[in-house]
Structure 1
Amino acid sequence: MAPHVMLSYQWDNQALVKRVYDRLKDDGLPVWMDIEGGVSGNINDAMAAGVEEAAVVCLFMTPAYQASRSGKKELNYADSRGVPVVPVMVAKNWEASEWLGLITAGLLWIDFRNSEKSDDHFEKCIKSLVDEIMFSGGDLLSVEAPPPDVNDGAMERPSRRKQPGRGFRHALTGLYLWESGEQKFHPASDTRNSVELHNSPGDHGYWEEIRGDNCKHYRSFITNGYLGYDPNGNYTYTKASPHGAEEWQLLVDETDNSAERAVVVKNKHSELFLAVFNGQLTGQKFYNESCKWFLE
């Protein structure tokens, strides 16, 4: 069995998951689903094989999934094997707790709560899901070039490939978080590089995500410098090694209804949100729209 994307869900959401399965297949991704040939023979053996060969497990989170014994077995097994997990939030006004909350703590979930609002909304949700799948396990997946879309004549969907990191586009200004490479000396930590805003991402706008202790570090794809924020000088920078001021929390922006991947980025050390004000990066104590970013 080749590496694949495993869809883990509770049967109440089978129609939605089947629709997601079909769209991921259309995009050329290898996908495993129980009702699409994933289960034959002993169900426990089949589920174990599905997890063991998974590059990524996508779980569709609902209270019923949390109460499901089979869902718990699947996800615990995936967690024990270190398989990347991509949570998909389906239930409204609910958050995971107990064993499911423990496994998904700190993970960035994909918002499918209004995915069936319209075809356009669903397609944006699918794009977000594919982006996160490729970010989490794209180097293990053999992705086929998607065929031409019969509904769009000769138009072809873009081939999916793993990006070198996350891109952060500011929601209000459309500008990207960008490592300029310009060096400036700092007496406490020697050289720091400037971080600014730019109108296009390029390689300087990609940030590798590295998990820390209840936080994330973001390292520039170009310079290997770690993103940090200095509240005393109110400026953003990169430096060669991460410490407290280079620890971040990345959270879903639950106030957003655009179906894009809206997030907030919070500096763990200063407890300030990374925001843009008057065209400049700044730290902000309280959330507002200037703190919103879209992942790309």
Structure 2
Amino acid sequence: MTPKTQNELPSLRESLEQHGLMAKKSFGQHFLLDLNITRKIVRLGGPFDGDVVIEVGPGPGGLTRALLESEARSVLAIEKDARFIELLSELNDAYGARFDVIEADAVKADERALLAERDLGEAAHLVSNLPYNVGTPLLIKWLTGPWQPLSMTLMFQLEVALRVVAPVDDNDYGRLSVIAQVLCDCEKLMDLPARAFTPPPKVDSAVVKLTPKADRPDAQLIKNLEKVTAAAFGQRRKMLRASLKPLGGEALLEKAGIDPTARAETISPDQFIQLSRVHLQTLQSTSNHYFRE
């Protein structure tokens, strides 16, 4: 096949037809083929001037094309579905060294290593129309893992997006809200109806931007936060003195300055990180006492 220039690229629908491709239900794929929408997502998620962007699950490349039209220095796409590699290589022909596509599972991918292998440094933004079936696991990986992106502009099914940005005491407020908001400033950028996708999913979607906070807790405290929130929201209708009983219950809550009769959905992210800090200090104190004995 003759390499194509940027002006010669076929439309996204034409590309899919030429390669005989359809969305794969088992991969949770729903394609966004309207370049006006993908350009808006990139505009709201940016600026990416001079920076590297990693895209997960590019599929036919609608969001990829918008990213390559931006001022991003390089765009690195991670695609699990081997069927799309040849189609995406047409973008490689058109945009040269600015674009690279990797066939890999993003859940298992080491972003830091992928960047280093290409001499792109360590810093990169994440932009993705996330496959529905792995959206939350990928977000938790990027929030709590060893590699920290410069920003994340991510599309989720609407119910997940609402959980990410939900304020305390909201019906959607939960464990994901706390972890995301402790670590990032979170903002819902735009809603997308199901009809915007091919094929249309059964639910609407939304784009969320997460910008990591400068005062990030250390890895040990983040891990403990995951433990505390899992216990608190695992029995969210119970008072915290009951749901957190295995972790110290009423005594722990009083040390953290939190009402033991409160329920998880009424506790702010700042209070949860304080609770996690006190719990960790209690564990460390108990451990030190044990060794002194």
Structure with greater Cα Rg: 2
Larger proportion of strand? 1
TM-score > 0.5, shorter chain as reference: no
**Normalized against structure 1, the TM-score is what?**
0.29
**Normalized against structure 2, the TM-score is what?**
0.29
